Structure 1
């Protein structure tokens, strides 16, 4: 999809060709396969194929690449929509449902998710999607030998970053933080964790598109981020270098080259660690530090399965995916966190994800990823929404712009983007 939101002729031709090839492949064996378009690639794609290999009917899985929204819009216009899609943005589910692209789905009786998550997939009193994979997005990773004592609060994290940053400036140690600021979603994940901790009601209001992007809660959140991000020596190579650093490279800086001590991101960081770490030492994680005395908010993301309106066999497949045993091959292989609270914790072969699943079922305040709930023009994936605004803010505070001026500029941009997307006041 072009920056202006138009689907290119090339994208249409690719989508139409993919749809035709899928139909031919599905019919060659005498029975039509169910086609599933997914956001996953690499190891995750392989694991999901292992999952659907146990489904009693043929399933053809297609990776839609980085922008599944553009892929699905092109396929819809070409008349070759897949039967099922798995995507990470509940905002798209309700948008597609409003356009009547989707049909309602029903989960199995073995399906239950944490309070609030299921409501994100409802439209006109009907359910149009089910959660099939979760992400715990409130974690900071490090090697125990590099950071023997974990900060237990936001103030402790700031103090530690100041101390380690001073050493790093003198060449006496690694940078305290790595950050993949070239990927705007990394910065919004920081923003969401701080906002949900400081002002959970404001977080929920912004997610519901009736919050104030220039209000006190947003300003306080940006002030807190500026307090940390503006520390001299906080990031390897400074803020300008961080803005050229992608997420995977930020993890490598901690677990491979060891030029930084801590990196914040979700449980899927473990997959990157598995590919790039050096030596036998296993990284560990701690919860994103809270400003208060409690454990702070818990931000979760996830992938949701939907069925397109003209699908054949898609509803049955989605119902099957919500059975407690459907994802057992992926659970046993590791690298999977289920949103389904009926799955026994003992099914997790990976003790780290077993603990993360336990946290998601605990009493903590749980909030779904804010940027994934925003209207499509505001998400930032097209280069004009919240992601680049947060990158501009990061550039300001790491380049010496006064925090109050950087905050004013960012909140003004956020409010304008929300108005343009009909996503806020």
Structure 2
């Protein structure tokens, strides 16, 4: 007599049958998908960006997944921290991705001038992004931001009063500074110098310099370098200089949670708030103009971001561009991303559950009364950008080199084959 349907033996047999069947169906489905892709029957779009590890997982979940489900298009994603080098090699080989995400408009401007990029103005509604994010080039828009970071910020622990911050800003050892960042080491120094110039001389001077129209040896630019050198102790205490040169930028704030703390202030972008030291310290920020000597403005902010560009205008790639530019996608990404960033989209993206400090970042980023200027080194042609980053390292070690460093940067910037952006600030 067979066992009744509800007995444990029957349930085990049924479970095994269901498990085997499910496994077979899964294998079959995977084979069908792979076969369809191999035969080119499933539309595919290639995407190159810099997100790896946890950030890539967030990106796939918050951005790629919804696109693939909505459009029934497979995204062949490549994440690399060396995406600039990867893109350069792919372009040279004639196999560039359909869509790319880079941090530098200066780099993208060069590709646009080479005819590698496709116009985006018909894919992005006018007014969704301000001028500093979608700078026209030769009558076309070639990039837009997927996410943004606010700069011109100084982070400090709660309980450190305004007067204590003023006192700490005058002591080089109180600045948390790490210059290391692999192949791009030195960029924290470029952020400092850019921001000092912006706060001391305003957006007009800053934009002229970022566009290659103001010499590096000018009194304004040289003054920004010397101000930075004084603030962080360039060429001073050997231990302090070595600490900055040997520390990776993401580890600089570790000194905040030592007992006693080894530094009090950090000049860094909004994403730094998501690192453990500032998380644990419940870090707060103030506008850098309050601590930069000789600052003349309090409404100018440096910004940066990840910029999307189109290299192949296939229907699938155009759909991906529309998806990445939408307020919904930008809201999802800025919420899910492992780092602390916000959307530069004109439509509000903060939800009711957004922390107050993050709401303040979004308000500042979208404040029509404030001036937003894109990171100057990111806007410069890559050879100048890279030399600038290296020069900050050399200057920190020995500020007596400054005149020679600035002369060399002027020489590099005068080359005729360089592509300079036409604007970096939303107003001057």
1:103-145 CA distance string (max 9 Å, x none): 11234438622343221xx322111122111110111222225
What CA distance in whole angstroms lies between the structure 2 residues aligned with 1:424 and 1:416? 15
Whichever structure has more helix as a proportion of its residues is: 2
Offset from partner CA, 1:140-184 (integer Å, 9 cap, x none): 222225xx11369xxx74x4344x56xxxxxxxxx4111112331
Aligned pair in 2 of structure 1 residues 31, 424: CA closer, same or farther (>3 Å)?
A: closer
Select which of 136, 152, 169 maps to 2:150. 136
RMSD: 3.0
In the alignment, the residues of structure 1 paired with residue 375 and residue 253 of structure 2 have an alpha-carbon distance, to the nearest angstrom, of 21
Distance in structure 1 (CA, Å) of the matches to 2:48 and 2:343: 19
Quote the offset at 1:294 in angstroms.
4.4
User: Partner of 1:113 in structure 2?
Assistant: 129
Contact 2:300–2:372 (CA under 8 A) maintained in structure 1 = yes
Deviates more, 1:330-339 or 1:185-194: 330-339
Tell me, yes or no, if the aligned pair for 1:375 and 1:423 is still in contact at 8 Å.
Answer: yes
Q: Structure 1 residues 52 and 234 mapped into 2: Cα distance closer, same or farther (>3 Å)?
A: farther
Q: Does 1:149 align with 2:164?
A: no
User: Is residue 369 of structure 2 the alignment partner of residue 354 of structure 1?
Assistant: no
**Structure 1 equivalent of residue 13 of structure 2:** none
Q: Cα–Cα, structure 1 residues 117 and 277, in superposed 2: closer, same or farther, change >3 Å?
A: closer
Q: Secondary structure at the match of 2:306?
A: strand
| Counterpart Cα distance in 1 of 2:235 and 2:392 | 19
Aligned position for 2:114: 99
Counterpart for residue 33 of structure 1: 44
The answer on 1:54 being equivalent to 2:70 is no
Question: Which residue number corresponds to residue 160 of structure 1?
Answer: 168
Residue 101 of structure 1 deviates from its aligned partner by 1.3
Q: Which residue of 2 aligns with 1:6?
A: none
C-alpha separation between the residues in 1 aligned to 2:416 and 2:252? 31
Secondary structure in structure 1 of the residue aligned to 2:112: helix
Match of 1:73 among 64, 79, 88: 88
* Residue 288, structure 1, aligned to residue 282, structure 2: no
Partners of 1:34 and 1:208 in 2: how far apart?
A: 34
Residues 244-286 of structure 1: CA deviation (Å, up to 9, x unaligned): 111011022224673322221101112323xx568x5422222
- Deviates most, 340-349 or 98-107: 340-349
Q: Is the 8 A contact 2:169 2:175 kept in 1?
A: yes
Task: Report 1:5-404 matches (<5 A).
Answer: 26-27=37-38, 30-50=41-61, 51-55=63-67, 56-57=70-71, 58-60=73-75, 62-105=77-120, 106-109=122-125, 112-119=128-135, 122-145=136-159, 148-150=160-162, 157=166, 159-162=167-170, 175-182=173-180, 183-199=185-201, 200-230=203-233, 237-255=239-257, 258-273=261-276, 280-290=280-290, 291-292=294-295, 294-309=297-312, 311-333=314-336, 335-346=340-351, 349-362=354-367, 363-380=369-386, 385-397=387-399
Cα distance between partner residues in 2 of 1:310 and 1:78: 19
Q: Do the aligned partners of residues 379 and 419 (structure 1) sit closer, same or farther apart at CA in structure 2, a change above 3 Å counting?
A: same
Q: 1:312, CA displacement in angstroms?
A: 4.8
For residues 286 and 361 of structure 1, the distance between their equivalents in structure 2, rounded to whole angstroms, comes to 17
- Equivalent position SS for 2:414: helix
Change (3 A) 1:417 1:293: closer
TM-score (norm 1): 0.78
Q: Secondary structure at the match of 2:175?
A: strand
- For residues 359 and 214 of structure 1, the distance between their equivalents in structure 2, rounded to whole angstroms, comes to 32
- How far is 1:234 from its partner? 8.2
Q: Does 1:415 align with 2:410?
A: yes
In the superposition, the TM-score normalised over structure 2's length comes to 0.77
Within 2, Cα distance between the matches of 1:78 and 1:25?
27
Q: How many angstroms apart in 2 are the aligned matches of 1:24 and 1:355?
A: 49
SS of the counterpart of 1:71?
helix
Aligned to 1:3: none
What SS class does the counterpart of residue 308 from structure 2 fall into?
Answer: strand
Secondary structure of 2:310's match?
A: strand
Checking the alignment, whether the CA contact within 8 Å between 1:374 and 1:423 is kept in structure 2 is no
Gaps of 5+ in 1: 1-22, 166-174, 398-404
